[in-house]
Structure formats: structure tokens, C-alpha cells
Amino acid sequence: MSETENKAENRRKKLRFRSWHRGTREMDLLLGRFADRYIPTLSDSELDLFSAVLRCPDQDLYDWVTGKVPWPQPLQNALTQRLTRFSTDQTDC
């Protein structure tokens, strides 16, 4: 594995870890499952977007993902739309 590939893999592992260790169980489950499913296929720019999402407080994220409050303009993108759809699908389980 090249150094570039190794750095990319380490970044993905860190993002998955951060997704599963949020602080609230609801967000751990939602973001952790999302990360498990999608992080392996996300582009570098999508990983940047996901990293920005992970920097947000859990309560804000919960409100945005569940549709209680719209996503703020800087975070309105295809990735957050996918996360919202994923959240809706998960509530049916």
C-alpha cells in the first residue's frame, strides 16, 4: 500500500471512529451506521463534507437529520441529503 493510500485509509478509519463515538447513543447509531455503509466509497471532497458534519453538536445534527430544522446553508449538499434519507430509512427498523 502506498503512503497516499495509507493516509486515505487512516482518514477513513478516524472518521468511522468519530462517527461511532459521538456522545449520544442516537447519533452514534445513526452516524456510525452511515459511516460503515458509505465511508468506503466517499470521495475526498465528500469525506471533507462528512468531517464538517461530524464537527457539529449532536443536538443540532439530530434536528437537521430528522427534519425538525433545515440544514444550515453551508451544510446543504448531496451528502447531507443522503444522510437525511439514511436516517429516515433507519427509523423503520
**88 confidence band (pLDDT: 50, 70, 90):** confident
- Residue 93 above 50 pLDDT? no
Residue 38: give the domain boundaries: 3-90
Looking at residue 19, which CATH number applies to its domain?
1.10.150.250
Count the domains in the chain. Answer: 1
Does residue 88 or residue 86 have the better pLDDT? Answer: 86
Q: What is the DSSP string of 6-67?
A: HHHHHHHHHHHHHHH-SSSHHHHHHHHHHHHHHGGG--HHHHHHHHHHHTS-HHHHHHHHTT
Q: What is the pTM of this model?
A: 0.89
